[in-house]
Amino acid sequence: RKEVEQDPGPFNVPEGATVAFNCTYSNSASQSFFWYRQDCRKEPKLLMSVYSSGNEDGRFTAQLNRASQYISLLIRDSKLSDSATYLCVVNMYVAYKYIFGTGTRLKVLA
Amino acid sequence: DGGITQSPKYLFRKEGQNVTLSCEQNLNHDAMYWYRQDPGQGLRLIYYSQIVNDFQKGDIAEGYSVSREKKESFPLTVTSAQKNPTAFYLCASSPQGAITEAFFGQGTRLTVV
């Protein structure tokens, strides 16, 4: 089983739609969780850290479910500019490294 | 402006040559990382360093070497022993190891010709 798993997609959604991605992780000792956005042939950029209580940043909401070992990202009112690959990242700070999912590709259609 | 600078952006290497990819940060971060990304795949860790003069092998260290002589700099050498070096290489740093978020440079795209 992979340490971090994501549905690769692509998720094709119309502008204005709400879309949600899940990411599962295998190690219950994981301590920190992040969502990154990566555009084609560019570096990943931090979208949100994910906190235990859940957090929201504008149209983006992230949730953590430790019991089921997954994190989620919800995007409301999708924009064309949201088209990108979304990477789930978890860490075990004991191991001092980040574990990256392979990413979920989102295409927002006009 | 603070950030991470990778150079060059594009690099072409002949088979059998060693090449060194530069990574410099002025964020005063202790931890630095090198990742490799192949098309359609996730990031794989090559090497990481938590502190100056110390570094650890990641998951795919064979054929690569690093040094961490200064806090700001973490160069990666791709040696001729790396059998399939063509890839997108990303350098990252973080202030507190993997507890906090990582920040990435713009990447170096290496092609073997």
Q: Is the predicted pLDDT of residue B37 greater than 80, yes or no?
A: yes
- Contact criterion met (CB < 8 Å) for B45 and A97: yes
The per-residue pLDDT for range A61-107, each reduced to its tens digit, is 999 999 999 999 999 999 999 999 999 999 876 667 899 999 999 99
Nearest by CB to residue B48, choosing from A31, A96, A101, is A96
Pick from A22-26, A37-41, A92-96, B68-72: least confident: A92-96
- Contact criterion met (CB < 8 Å) for B98 and A102: no
Minimal Cα–Cα distance from A49 to chain B, Å? 7
Predicted local distance difference test score (pLDDT) of residue B1? 63
- Contact criterion met (CB < 8 Å) for A96 and B45: no
Predicted local distance difference test score (pLDDT) of residue B21? 97
Three-point CA angle B75, B109, A11, nearest 5°:
120
CB pairs under 8 A between A and B: 56
Q: What is the mean pLDDT of residues B56-85?
A: 95
**Sign of dihedral through CA atoms B81, B85, B33, A63?**
negative
Nearest by CB to residue B99, choosing from A89, A93, A100, is A93
Three-point CA angle A5, A8, A10, nearest 5°:
155
- Contact criterion met (CB < 8 Å) for A97 and B103: no
Residue A32: list chain B partners with CB under 8 A.
Answer: 98-100
Q: Of B82, B105, B48, B41, nearest to A105 (Cα)?
A: B41
Predicted local distance difference test score (pLDDT) of residue A53? 87
Minimal Cα–Cα distance from B42 to chain A, Å? 4
Q: What is the mean pLDDT of residues B72-89?
A: 94
Q: How far apart are CA A84 and CA A108, in angstroms?
A: 9
Q: Is the predicted pLDDT of residue A60 greater than 70, yes or no?
A: yes
Nearest by CB to residue A43, choosing from B45, B100, B105, is B105
Q: Is the predicted pLDDT of residue B98 greater than 80, yes or no?
A: no
- Contact criterion met (CB < 8 Å) for A43 and B90: yes
Give me the half-sphere count of Cα atoms (radius 13 Å) on the Cβ side of residue A23. 29
Predicted local distance difference test score (pLDDT) of residue A28? 87
Compute the mean pLDDT over every residue in chain B, rounded to the nearest whole number: 93
Q: Which of residues B83 and B96 earns the better pLDDT score?
A: B83
Q: How does DSSP assign B68-113, residue by residue? A: -SBTTB--EEE-TT-S---EEEEEEEEEEEESS--EE---EEEEE-
